[in-house]
Amino acid sequence: MIALLGMGLTDLLCWLIVVPVVGALAYRSFAISDSRGALVTKWVVSAVLLFFIYRIAMSSSIFNPLFVAIPAVFLGLMWTSNVCNILFRPLTSVFDGEGDEGELKPFYFIAEAKRRKGLYQEAVAEVHRQLERFPGDVEGMMKLATIQAEDLHDLPAATETLNELLQQPGLPSNNAVAALQTLADWQMQHGRDPAAARVSFERIMQMFPDTPYSHNAQQRLAHLDGVTQTREFRENAVFKVPSGQRDLGLRQAALQVEPPLATADALAAEYVGQLEKYPNDTETRQKLAVLYAEQFDRLDLAVSQIEQLAALPNAAPRDMAHWLNLLATLHIRHGNDVAAAENALHRVIDRFPKSADASKAVARLAALQGELKAAATTTAAKALGVYETDLGLKSGPVAPRSS
């Protein structure tokens, strides 16, 4: 059979080894190539050149070396870049992320370097290059949106990029929430659009109801108006430096300092109004509890506010431990009630056993008597204003009482 084919045993073994190896290399090159059409063209041209080289080599002309060298040079020029890529790829993969197939992952070092140099369009092109190889990569999509929003000041493009990310099936919840929170921040900072930011926070609440993500979004929503007012005040306010008092050292009477404009009654009314609009505003409810205890000597109302915070179902453990520690502090400073403070700290231990907060609560239990001795117990009682005195004991919105 070998004789019929016109080849020797050595030639047959060569074909059996070379053909499968070349085929495997060709398949791998085609699979990882960024331009498969150009690669196929190079294969066809190379096959034609190899055929001519073979025919010239089989002839008996004295000019065979010269005729073989010409197509061989063309072959070398065509495949130099591929050969170098194979030889030096292990080194270059450290920088561009194009490593072994089993460990392929996107790298954005080049894009970040171009961004730091102010080459934002080139940085975007580099991120796109990585995303073409790794479609939907979360880090790449977020980096692309960041360059668009913060560097190119193209918020619509950044919004489109993040919306594309959010439409990916199976996107982890933490990544989706991070994208929407980032978008809301950009809408406030770069777009000056609190209504759009509100929509972003509401999307978090709709996508992840009854979760810590929803709870945090509610807190951001509750203070969105305040952030807007603060920004507008800073942009429009005109600050004037008043002239100082002269001859202070020659005056016999002490300088009368004007009292602060925001009284305890006004603060309490402000907090109550905020809680009527946003009952889950934990920061304001905590401030109201401290105000009740310290300014009005109403520990009962303060405890009611803290208990409402402790009853929230989706609060973070860190916040819950903080509120219960605050409850213990209020019982010590304003109620001289060590037993109630101990009960609050034991609730921390029971809710979060084997945690850092539990360890701190155990240590604080041993120091409560010292706190009691150091606490100031002479806070003067102040009357409540005309707003509802039992706010926090009611589950629904409370209307202010008329005077």
169 pLDDT exceeds 50? yes
253 pLDDT exceeds 80? no
Higher pLDDT, residue 306 or 375: 306
262 pLDDT exceeds 50? yes
Closest alpha carbon to 68 in 79, 57, 80, 60? 57
Closest alpha carbon to 283 in 232, 326, 342? 326
> Which amino acid is residue 368, in one-letter code?
L
Q: How far apart are CA 284 and CA 277, in angstroms?
A: 11
DSSP string, 329-368: HHHHHHH--HHHHHHHHHHHHHHSTTSHHHHHHHHHHTTH
Q: How far apart are CA 350 and CA 345, in angstroms?
A: 9
Q: Rounded to whole angstroms, what are the CA distances from 305 to 71, 149, 286, 289?
A: 87, 40, 7, 6
Q: How far apart are CA 151 and CA 143, in angstroms?
A: 11
CB atoms within 10 A of CB 195: 10
Predicted structure pTM score: 0.54
How do residues 39-76 score in pLDDT, each as one tens digit?
778 777 777 777 777 777 777 666 667 667 777 777 77
For position 160, what pLDDT does the model report?
A: 95
Closest alpha carbon to 297 in 323, 255, 336? 336
For position 94, what pLDDT does the model report?
A: 53
Determine which helix (DSSP H) or strand (DSSP E) holds 163, and give its type and residue range: helix 155-166
Q: What residues have CB less than 8 Å from 393, skipping those under 6 apart?
A: 301, 304
End-to-end alpha carbon distance in the chain: 115
Q: How far apart are CA 324 and CA 303, in angstroms?
A: 10
For position 104, what pLDDT does the model report?
A: 74
6 pLDDT exceeds 60? no
Higher pLDDT, residue 273 or 93: 273
Residues 134, 105 contacting (CB under 8 angstroms)? yes
304 pLDDT exceeds 60? yes
- What's the rounded mean pLDDT across residues 194-204? 92
Closest alpha carbon to 224 in 158, 278, 149, 289? 278
How do residues 335-393 score in pLDDT, each as one tens digit?
889 999 999 999 999 999 989 999 999 999 988 888 888 875 444 444 455 455 455 44
